[in-house]
Amino acid sequence: MLWDALRQKGTSSFEAAELLGVPRSTLYRWKKKLREEGPRGLEPRSRRPRESGNLVGG
């Protein structure tokens, strides 16, 4: 991960966030997802609900 490479070079989280153009909270969220789910955790996912929850009025 690019952030890890930057940190190994001594770049702070603040500087890394500026270089990547994202908030520090995003860096921490990415790191958590990577730790918990592996590389697949960083893949984009649909935010659409899986079911529409159709309710029948009556």
What confidence tens digit (pLDDT) does each residue in 30-41 have? 889 988 998 888
Cα end-to-end distance, the chain, whole Å? 53
CB atoms within 10 A of CB 17: 19
The better pLDDT of the pair 55, 37 is held by 37
The residue assigned the tokens 């991960």 is 1
pLDDT of residue 51: 76
CB atoms within 10 A of CB 28: 13
**Mind listing the pLDDT tens digit for each residue in 1-51?**
676 788 789 998 889 889 999 999 998 998 899 889 988 888 888 888 777
In angstroms, the CA 39 to CA 43 distance is: 7
